[in-house]
Structure 1
Amino acid sequence: MSEQTHTGRCLCGAVTFEVSGPAKWTGYCHCHSCRKHTGAPVSAFAGFERDQVRMTGQPLARFASSPGVQRGFCARCGSTISYEGERWPSEFHVHVGAFDRPEDFAPTGQGFPEERIAWLHLEMPAPP
């Protein structure tokens, strides 16, 4: 695993985190729940093994958005930070926009494309 460390935070800076090494995967999520959680027509995530992620600031507030799913956010400013689900029990998914350098996590796939908003058309970034 790479020794590179990526940092991130919420809008107010209360919730901060560090991630060691590369993401297992990156992708857009088109699901209804992600749209409601972020207020955006699509979300971008990077998936990591739990032991790669270290929370360094205030603890995440969590909301059980559906059975077996916890969505993490800042209790102070409301910024969306994470997704944790029983479907991927060893993983911690971070919203790409919460990273200090989101450009390091270009999406390479799409989740729930059948729920994509009809007017939204995305091009997948070219591989680095």
Structure 2
Amino acid sequence: MRTERGHCFCGAIGASFVGDPFWICFDHDDDCRRAIGPLTMWVGYVAGQVAFDRGKPATFSKTPGIVRTFSSTCGSSISYQDEGLPDEVYVCIGFMDAPERFPPQAHG
């Protein structure tokens, strides 16, 4: 079974991802642009596929229903969750150890 790993810039937060992601998408919306930069990719996993095994991400919410996670040590973006999609976790491509293994499927 496919297993991927990810960590933040300083290494304080680490996670593993078991199985294939269900979605890989370039993102162009205003919220993500302001939070991360002009363009990012999100890798979508079912929540049960994601295990944080080193450190605990900090959270921030500006948009009702959306919670973003990041490293409180180095500031790296990690993920976001939408309370309307409670079983889905979208992981920032920059958090992944091998981003080249996630070809985008769409633009959003």
Give the TM-score category using the shorter length: over 0.9
**Which has the larger Rg?**
1
CA RMSD of aligned residues (A): 0.8
Residue in structure 2 matched with residue 118 of structure 1 by the alignment? none
Report Cα offsets for 1:2-56 as digits up to 9, x if no partner. x111000000000100000110010011111111111x21110110000000001
Deviating beyond 4 angstroms after TM superposition, the runs of 4 or more aligned structure 1 residues are none
Q: Secondary structure at the match of 1:56?
A: strand
Residue of structure 2 in register with 1:72 after alignment: 69
TM-score (norm 2): 0.96
* CA offsets 1:67-120 (integer angstroms, 9 cap, x no match): 000000000000000010023211011011111000111111111xxxxxxxxx
Structure having the larger proportion of residues in strand = 2
- Uncovered stretches (5+) of structure 2, i.e. residues with no partner: none
> Secondary structure, in 3 states, of the residue corresponding to 1:65?
coil
| Selected match of 1:81 from 62, 78, 81 | 78
Unaligned runs of 5+ in 1: 112-128
Task: Please give the alpha-carbon distance, in whole angstroms, between the structure 1 residues aligned to 2:62 and 2:3.
Answer: 29
TM-score scaled by length of structure 1 = 0.82
Q: Which residue of 1 aligns with 2:2?
A: 4
